Chain A
């Protein structure tokens, strides 16, 4: 049983990496670019998913009552009638008083804006927020019912977000398809590049490999440095890509968010909350790419 010194094998690997400096640098550059593009797509998709979670809020219809004061019994009756409608999953009632309180909380830093309003002089009105399930057709039917003045004369306005929800859903599917396909193509290119780099490294050391074969080296002993070199390329690429991703993400999304964490209805996830996913993703992706590329090349070009 042959016992190889781990430190010797590792030193051979790193010597090989530095010996093929230019080629190694080229593979690092290309792999970093691929990781960066894949990472950017991944982050966009992730942010999209986070926002799609809040898409449930788009399955809501907001019904605003008339200005005239409605007696409590009638409000209760209205609540029950709404809850009994088909496809309604939840009904949330916000009183005039609550609406005013909510506004005061929202503008707590500018109390003068709302200071002239009180319970008697309240510009708000009762609101019923209805959540629903079902198809678009069910949603349209529900809207039609709620906007029917004969059936619900208490409402002065009924607002929905159906169009926005549909647009976002279509956008999500399109982005996923384009980005998904692009990521697959990029990964394929990365594997081919690694294969080629390993092939060139093998060819530049063909004489050394031949001597090793004559002496009695095992395929494992010959291949090991190339595999480690390849994985090392992957590790360096992952680290560089991570740093660049951190900078670009913070910069670009910082611009979008103008220092905050949301732009309109879009929520941007801060990098600090997802950095470990990005780091793990980069390492896993680069190692997998390098392993597959090296493995294919080694099995093709190294014979015992």
Chain B
């Protein structure tokens, strides 16, 4: 379970000698196995929320507990263990251009110290699940945007994370490819075993998922938290 309680995050701007509030008194609870869209325009606080969830940043005030890890009090040596339970899918994919698709996915397992045997067994399975086995020996620049996104997803999923965070997963894709990737992401949370958080500003695309939860941010605050079917075009 993810639980934000009165979370505020401010940044000090040394150049302007001012304080910027990225998140302002946010209260949000996400149950295990939920699929949630986090929407909002640029500067609404979505990326800050993602960085807080991955413990790249610490809340300025309030409490943030994820799967029993209190992210304000977590010990430094426990952070890698916590992060290994989260799969991150980035907007720009962040694939290593000198690694093949297979190596990019295997890298995530190597980072966690998984054995070569486990890597040889798991990576082909994940590649097959995401339908990119045929591209296993290709380099990222040799494959399409959609395939790059699938590779990034495979890397995020290969360690079987409890939470999957996709940051603007369709930003660099064509509309048809966007729908395909979004369907895939939503399906990854369908069995209820994995929490999937999808950060996006593409409201039109999420209109296809009427029964999914949408949390909308504006200027660091949650302006509504409901299902698309209930808010409709207001999303």
How far does the alpha carbon of A214 sit from the alpha carbon of B83 in the complex, in Å? Answer: 6
Residues of A within 8 A of B54 (CB): 214
Which chain B residue has the least Cβ–Cβ distance from A207?
Answer: B94
CB distance from A210 to the nearest CB of B (A): 8
Q: Is the CB–CB distance between A215 and B84 below 8 Å? A: yes
Tell whether A216 pairs with B116 under 8 Å between CB atoms, given A211-B94, A221-B111. Answer: no
Q: Is the CB–CB distance between B76 and A216 below 8 Å? A: no
Residues of A within 8 A of B84 (CB): 215-216
Residues of B within 8 A of A304 (CB): 76, 79-80
CB distance from A16 to the nearest CB of B (A): 12
CB distance from B76 to the nearest CB of A (A): 6
CB distance from A63 to the nearest CB of B (A): 77
CB distance from A8 to the nearest CB of B (A): 6
Q: Is the CB–CB distance between B110 and A2 below 8 Å? A: no
CB distance from A6 to the nearest CB of B (A): 11
Q: Is the CB–CB distance between B94 and A213 below 8 Å? A: no
Q: Is the CB–CB distance between A217 and B116 below 8 Å? A: no
How far does the alpha carbon of A215 sit from the alpha carbon of B84 in the complex, in Å? Answer: 6
How far does the alpha carbon of A215 sit from the alpha carbon of B96 in the complex, in Å? Answer: 14
Residues of B within 8 A of A210 (CB): 94
Of the candidates A215, A218, A219, the one whose C-beta lies within 8 Å of that of B159 is A215
B166 at the interface (CB under 8 A from A): no
Which chain B residue has the least Cβ–Cβ distance from A211?
Answer: B94
A residues 195-253 in Cβ contact with B at 8 Å: 207-208, 210-219, 221
Q: Is the CB–CB distance between B96 and A216 below 8 Å? A: no
How far does the alpha carbon of A221 sit from the alpha carbon of B111 in the complex, in Å? Answer: 7
Q: Is the CB–CB distance between A215 and B108 below 8 Å? A: yes
How far does the alpha carbon of A216 sit from the alpha carbon of B111 in the complex, in Å? Answer: 7
CB distance from B13 to the nearest CB of A (A): 20
Which chain B residue has the least Cβ–Cβ distance from A221?
Answer: B111
A137 at the interface (CB under 8 A from B): no
Tell whether A215 pairs with B94 under 8 Å between CB atoms, given A304-B76, A304-B79, A304-B80. Answer: no
How far does the alpha carbon of A208 sit from the alpha carbon of B97 in the complex, in Å? Answer: 11
Q: Is the CB–CB distance between A3 and B113 below 8 Å? A: yes
CB distance from A296 to the nearest CB of B (A): 19
How far does the alpha carbon of A34 sit from the alpha carbon of B80 in the complex, in Å? Answer: 39
Q: Is the CB–CB distance between A218 and B80 below 8 Å? A: yes
Residues of A within 8 A of B108 (CB): 215
B20 at the interface (CB under 8 A from A): no
B153 at the interface (CB under 8 A from A): no
Q: Is the CB–CB distance between B83 and A2 below 8 Å? A: no
Q: Is the CB–CB distance between A213 and B110 below 8 Å? A: no
Q: Is the CB–CB distance between B88 and A214 below 8 Å? A: yes
Residues of A within 8 A of B94 (CB): 207, 210-211
Tell whether A217 pairs with B76 under 8 Å between CB atoms, given A207-B94, A211-B94. Answer: no
Which chain B residue has the least Cβ–Cβ distance from A9?
Answer: B110
Q: Is the CB–CB distance between B113 and A4 below 8 Å? A: yes
How far does the alpha carbon of A219 sit from the alpha carbon of B111 in the complex, in Å? Answer: 11
A74 at the interface (CB under 8 A from B): no
Residues of A within 8 A of B80 (CB): 216-219, 304
A181 at the interface (CB under 8 A from B): no
How far does the alpha carbon of A216 sit from the alpha carbon of B83 in the complex, in Å? Answer: 5
CB distance from A283 to the nearest CB of B (A): 30
Residues of B within 8 A of A8 (CB): 110
How far does the alpha carbon of A221 sit from the alpha carbon of B56 in the complex, in Å? Answer: 17
Residues of B within 8 A of A215 (CB): 83-84, 88, 107-108, 111-112, 155, 159
B121 at the interface (CB under 8 A from A): no
How far does the alpha carbon of A213 sit from the alpha carbon of B55 in the complex, in Å? Answer: 10
Residues of B within 8 A of A216 (CB): 80-86, 111-112, 159
B144 at the interface (CB under 8 A from A): no
Which chain A residue has the least Cβ–Cβ distance from B158?
Answer: A215
How far does the alpha carbon of A8 sit from the alpha carbon of B114 in the complex, in Å? Answer: 12
CB distance from A87 to the nearest CB of B (A): 67
Residues of A within 8 A of B76 (CB): 304
How far does the alpha carbon of A213 sit from the alpha carbon of B86 in the complex, in Å? Answer: 11
B residues 175-193 in Cβ contact with A at 8 Å: none
B233 at the interface (CB under 8 A from A): no
Which chain A residue has the least Cβ–Cβ distance from B76?
Answer: A304
CB distance from A151 to the nearest CB of B (A): 82
B115 at the interface (CB under 8 A from A): yes
CB-defined A-B contacts under 8 Å, sample of 16: A2-B113, A3-B113, A5-B110, A207-B94, A208-B96, A211-B96, A214-B54, A214-B56, A214-B88, A215-B111, A216-B83, A216-B111, A216-B159, A217-B111, A218-B80, A304-B79
Q: What 7 pairs across the A-B complex have the smallest Cβ distances?
A: A2-B113, A216-B84, A216-B83, A217-B111, A214-B88, A218-B80, A215-B111
Q: Taking beta carbons and an 8 Å cutoff, which residues of A are in contact with B?
A: 2-5, 8, 207-208, 210-219, 221, 304
Q: Taking beta carbons and an 8 Å cutoff, which residues of B are in contact with A?
A: 54, 56, 76-77, 79-86, 88, 94, 96, 107-108, 110-113, 115-116, 155, 159
